[in-house]
Structure 1
Amino acid sequence: MPSGGSQNDETLKSELLSLALEAARRAGALLRDGRPDDLAVAATKSSPIDVVTEMDIAAEKLITTYLSEQRPDDGFLGEEGASAKGSSGVRWVIDPLDGTVNYLYGLPTWSVSIAAERDGETLAGVVEIPMRGETFRAVLGGGAFLNDRPVGCRPSPPLDQALVSTGFNYVTTVRAHQAAVAQRLIPQLRDIRRGGSAAVDLCDVAAGRLDGYFERGLFPWDLAAGDLIAREAGALTGGRPGDRPSGELAVAASPGVFEPLRALLEEYGAWHD
């Protein structure tokens, strides 16, 4: 299906969603079925990393090849290096394997995240979670869905009853500050979770499995699809006060939890290392 400038927004969003769903399904199947049975931390030092890197790259190549065949004029931004400006005004933002360490260890919380944006606005997003058998999807203004069921974020509890997820950087000095923020935050909440995939955490906020989520150090491919899905499920998302989610800070939560949580994160300096 070639790209074209005459499509109206709804037709375009529908096409982008359909392509993202198929690309994510194919990549998810490749990662699920192609993971070596003997992939383990006990292997030689370079082997697990090399295999995972190969799987990341293979999944991204599968996604970009498929999307390029369908819409050759679109641009790309991918975690594993896919980068093309394109001429259609549409750019695909791709994380072929979000939760690489979970994947390496054989844990189920990893995902394929694909979003399509135009003029900096995400129009469609898909997060495929193969080991859960779950596909989250959304188009701008169309609500959020888990498989074929509409989803919405939880009714907002008081902050001290909120279950909130976060993630930690792999740079030791950054992790130490993030741990200090978490230590101050834990007494203010019901509890904190650490899932290991930003895209899955954002979708779990959308599905009402978490009251909130925050993280520093994310990239556009970590955020793009999950942020849209969370917003379309009724959650609020942002960064520092007045800002959009970014690498500096990303926050997503049910409406009554969002501002109190963000205020504490601001007070505790969660936006800097």
Structure 2
Amino acid sequence: MPGTTDPDGYGWYGRELRVARAAAEEAGEMLRARFNDVWEVRPKGDDGDVVTELDLAAERIVLGRLRDAFPGDRIWSEEAGVLDGSAARTWLVDPLDGSNNVAIGLPVYAVGIGLCVDGMPMVGVVHEPHTGSTWHAILGGGVFQGARPLDPPPPSSSSGLVVAWTQGHAVSRDDVPAAELRGVLERHTRRVLPLWAPLLGWTMLARGSIDGFVGYCAEAVDFPPGALLAMEAGAEFRTLLGGPFRVGFSGPDSTRCFVAGRPGALERLVELTSGVMAGRTVLPTG
């Protein structure tokens, strides 16, 4: 299904990108302004996750803009859930990726918005309120930080790799494959970054600040917007066993087990993860 164009010169899906960027930046401005205020924090589920008053306020801003601009589209948002619309076009919204960081006063968080068409990510926007930086991509159009296109990062060096890590909320603390994956990465890379804000891991991979990203049963909502940035920057994706991996949001979280990496890093990471996962069925235990 084709997108729309606008005068900003983005081509197909230009209007969608413009609306998503404006929504993310408006939400980010509010989050930055209220970061040091006093606001409510509530438990979310039984796994230690939280939702803050800021999550809900940012979500209202983003959903309002998307509903006004694209009333017929489906929206899947982190806190509101699925809002009915055309299943062919689904907006994915994480209004505050990094709620646990914000709850303890750590300014490591982002706003993420993506559009998937027939399951394929077409538009991805990630805004980092603390720095004011916005990254965006349209499928096939490259990745940008603000108005500046990002050059593909060079191949990873032969020195130790720096890798981001994410796992889904449903993964329990005693999940054996998850623990073994983390362990082997810790032993054989220079550093593993459990950021509690996966979208920032994707921006770091897109601009070449880190070498790879490993996900185990990753959450659906914030995956495609960030992964599209990395794809457009030249990162490649594999399953934990090294097979083909399709970036999308459909299916259970257990299907989003992946390795993404820059040239020179992907094969080295797959060698590590495949050694752990060989002969296993990748499913969360929690």
Q: TM-score, normalised by structure 1?
A: 0.85
- The 1:31/1:52 distance shift into structure 2, 3 A limit, reads farther
- The 1:210/1:167 distance shift into structure 2, 3 A limit, reads same
Partner of 1:111: 110
Partner of 2:210: 210
- The 1:116/1:143 distance shift into structure 2, 3 A limit, reads same
Cα shift readout 1:54-101 (whole Å, capped 9, x = no counterpart): 321222122111111111111111111331342383211111111111
Q: Secondary structure at the match of 2:13?
A: helix
Q: Secondary structure at the match of 1:157?
A: coil
Q: Determine the C-alpha separation between the residues in 1 that align with 2:137 and 2:4.
A: 19
Q: TM-score, normalised by structure 2?
A: 0.81
- Whether contact under 8 Å (2:4, 2:13) holds in the other structure is no
Matches within 5 A, 1:57-136: 57-87=56-86, 89-136=88-135
Matches within 5 A, 1:1-273: 7=4, 11-38=11-38, 48-49=41-42, 52-87=51-86, 89-157=88-156, 161-168=160-167, 171-174=172-175, 177-240=177-240, 241-245=243-247, 247-248=253-254, 249-269=257-277, 271-273=282-284
Could you tell me which amino acid in structure 1 is paired with residue 272 of structure 2? Answer: L
Q: Secondary structure at the match of 1:56?
A: helix
- Whether contact under 8 Å (2:122, 2:139) holds in the other structure is yes
- The 1:196/1:152 distance shift into structure 2, 3 A limit, reads farther
Deviates more, 1:83-92 or 1:56-65: 83-92
User: How many corresponding residue pairs?
Assistant: 262
Q: Determine the C-alpha separation between the residues in 1 that align with 2:86 and 2:106.
A: 39
Cα shift readout 1:6-64 (whole Å, capped 9, x = no counterpart): 8579744111110110010111122222335346xxxxxxx532694332122212211
Could you tell me which amino acid in structure 1 is paired with residue 206 of structure 2? Answer: A
- Whether contact under 8 Å (1:202, 1:252) holds in the other structure is no
* Gapped regions of structure 1 (runs ≥ 5): 40-46
Q: Determine the C-alpha separation between the residues in 2 that align with 1:119 and 1:167.
A: 25
Q: Determine the C-alpha separation between the residues in 1 that align with 2:63 and 2:85.
A: 13
- The 1:53/1:212 distance shift into structure 2, 3 A limit, reads same
Q: Secondary structure at the match of 1:219?
A: coil
Q: Secondary structure at the match of 1:49?
A: strand
Output the aligned Cα RMSD.
2.7
Cα shift readout 1:143-177 (whole Å, capped 9, x = no counterpart): 10112222245322356522112135563223x65
Could you tell me which amino acid in structure 1 is paired with residue 166 of structure 2? Answer: G
Could you tell me which amino acid in structure 2 is paired with residue 259 of structure 1? Answer: E
Q: Determine the C-alpha separation between the residues in 2 that align with 1:59 and 1:159.
A: 41
Q: Determine the C-alpha separation between the residues in 1 that align with 2:230 and 2:2.
A: 29
Q: Secondary structure at the match of 2:19?
A: helix
* Gapped regions of structure 2 (runs ≥ 5): 44-49
- Whether contact under 8 Å (1:216, 1:250) holds in the other structure is yes
Partner of 2:46: none
Cα shift readout 1:158-200 (whole Å, capped 9, x = no counterpart): 56522112135563223x6533322222332222222221111
- Whether contact under 8 Å (1:154, 1:211) holds in the other structure is no
Q: Determine the C-alpha separation between the residues in 2 that align with 1:144 and 1:161.
A: 26
Q: Secondary structure at the match of 2:130?
A: helix
Identity of aligned pairs, percent? 30
Could you tell me which amino acid in structure 2 is paired with residue 220 of structure 1? Answer: A
- Whether contact under 8 Å (2:237, 2:244) holds in the other structure is no
Query: How far has the Cα of 1:142 moved from its partner?
Result: 0.8
Q: Secondary structure at the match of 1:64?
A: helix
- The 1:81/1:235 distance shift into structure 2, 3 A limit, reads same
Q: Secondary structure at the match of 1:167?
A: strand
